[in-house]
Amino acid sequence: MKAAASRSVCIREGSELAEIELMLLLTQYEWFQNKLEELGAKLDELLMQILYVQLLLAIIGIGRDTIAGFLAEVGDVGQYRHPKQITKLAGLNLKTNSSGTHTGQTKITKRGHKHLCALLFRVMMPLVAKNAAFKALHEYYTRRKVNPLKKMQSLIALCNKLIRILFGILKKGHEFSEEKMIQDILVLKSCHKLFN
């Protein structure tokens, strides 16, 4: 089989040029890796100039690229009065399809910066997996007895929650606390039990 493969698969002509091409590709790869490292160092330097970035980096599941992407899409958080403005910018605000006396389903508008919306969804998966508070909130939203949310609806609600958290930290310097967020979930559960 080995002998048959060496006669049928191997191309003997142009092996010298193929070797040169491979060396060029490896050189390009190394150059891109070096440039990527330089850009990463510059990004770190620029992020450290922004107030309260260290508080954001302390959140489990949120990294440098997430913060940089969020700030690149949103700009200066100081220009916003309320986190709902950023929610609208991302296209994650809710609208109800209605006509006359008919009230239809409530859905997100999807009218916003698609890159910001995609960034929030991409970061939500690791947050739900790694961050105990977001995981607990996701489980609460999807498993509550009254008005349980579908998984995608829960992720949208969590994206809005993340916007409020990022806004509070960047604008006012609040610290994120997993324990406080979990306590809020326990309060929500007890309120649902009280009213039902």
Closest to 59 measured CA to CA, from 185, 184, 174: 174
Q: What is the predicted pLDDT for the residue at 20?
A: 87
Domain membership of residue 143 (yes or no) is yes
SS percent in the chain: helix, strand, coil, step 5 = 70, 5, 25
Render the burial of 2-14: b for 16+ CB within 10 Å, e for the rest. eeeeeeeeeeeee
Answer yes or no: are the C-beta atoms of 175 and 169 closer than 8 Å. Answer: yes
Domain membership of residue 60 (yes or no) is yes
Domain membership of residue 85 (yes or no) is yes
| Cα gap 119→124, rounded to integer Å | 9
Domain membership of residue 18 (yes or no) is no
Q: What residue ranges of the chain have pLDDT lower than 70?
A: 1-2, 4-14, 94-100, 102-109, 188-196
Domain membership of residue 126 (yes or no) is yes
Domain membership of residue 10 (yes or no) is no
Q: What is the predicted pLDDT for the residue at 192?
A: 60
Q: What is the predicted pLDDT for the residue at 147?
A: 82
Domain membership of residue 16 (yes or no) is no
Answer yes or no: are the C-beta atoms of 158 and 124 closer than 8 Å. Answer: yes
Sequence letter at residue 60: I
Q: What is the predicted pLDDT for the residue at 19?
A: 82
Range of the domain at 131: 50-96+108-195
